[in-house]
Amino acid sequence: MPETIFRLCVVVGLLLSGSPLAFAATPDPWPGLVQDIFNNRPMNDGSDVIAIEMPARAEDAAIVPVTLRTKLPASDGRQVLSITLVIDQNPAPMAAKFQLGPDAKVPEISTRVRVNNYTDVHAVAELSDGQLYMAKTYVKASGGCSAPAAKNADEAKARLGQMRYRQFAKAGEGPATGVREAQIMIGHPNNSGLQMDQVTHLYVPAFFINELRLWQDDSLVLTMEGGISISEDPNIRFTYVSNGAKSFRAEAKDTEGRVFQREWKIDDSGI
């Protein structure tokens, strides 16, 4: 009995002192996520394949910017087929999976995510050689998944499914000019299921964009499989290689089965 009491006193002392030893037993979720999300496939060092950029400390945990950038040189015969974004400590860790169009050669994707706890964030690229390549960063943020929505329910409903499209081509560039940059914004509350209604004090059911597809004419640019970690009013900015298309098209679906579609002239920007 005295020995047991001594051990309990040691543990309490470590917790009160803030010693790292007190948290040494906290398991790293990443090995389990590799099994659950990637079927335990081997992970290669992706430092020369994929980069992930996020602020070390988030200003707002509900809208944390993240940029995924491929690093393969032009001389490399391999192609990036998909990029999966995993926020290890989030309730639903797989934030998004981007499938890249075979001819669009998308080198960069940026979006905004919720981060619920201090966490590692992984980017996993699948290449045409059949291998997975991983890079990671660490973000200090908390409470992003349960943060109240920025818009009230009526405002969110009025904006539901509205899409905006922007091109960032330089003056004088035409649709057939090399690498282009574009942005798609979708009006949607993207409720995480962990937010509480400030009036009823009941949890708001999860309700979010779970599929997005983008085309230039009929050629696929990219697709996104999204989850609760994508921020309110999803915002995807990306670069791609133009095929000379005259139009840009977007289709999004949400978890209640709604389908939102829009098409724009390639050099237009607007709603």
pTM: 0.87
Per residue of the chain (271 residues), give pLDDT as tens.
343 333 434 334 434 444 444 444 568 999 999 999 999 999 999 999 999 999 999 999 999 999 999 999 989 999 999 999 999 999 999 999 999 999 999 999 999 999 999 999 999 999 999 999 999 999 999 999 999 888 787 888 889 999 999 988 654 555 555 889 999 999 999 999 999 887 788 999 999 999 999 999 999 999 999 999 999 999 999 999 999 899 999 999 999 999 999 999 987 765 5
At 51, list the tokens. 């980069």
Cβ–Cβ < 8 Å for 32, 40: no
Look at residue 3 in the predicted model and tell me its pLDDT.
Answer: 39
Q: Looking at the chain, how many residues does it have?
A: 271
The span from the CA of 46 to the CA of 258, in Å, is 37
Residue with tokens 């400390």: 57
- Identify the bridge partners of residue 80 per DSSP, sorted by sequence position: 127
Confidence at residue 154, expressed as pLDDT on a 0 to 100 scale: 81
Distance CA 151, CA 62 (A): 13
3-class state of residue 220 by DSSP: strand
State which amino acid sits at residue 178.
Answer: G
Look at residue 8 in the predicted model and tell me its pLDDT. Answer: 37
Provide the 3-class DSSP secondary structure of residue 31.
helix
pLDDT given for residue 198 in this prediction: 79
Q: Collect all residues with Cβ–Cβ distance below 8 Å to 61 and sequence separation of at least 6.
A: 114, 115, 116, 141, 142, 143, 144, 147
Contact assessment for residue 207 and residue 191, using Cβ atoms and an 8 Å cutoff: yes
pLDDT value for 26: 67
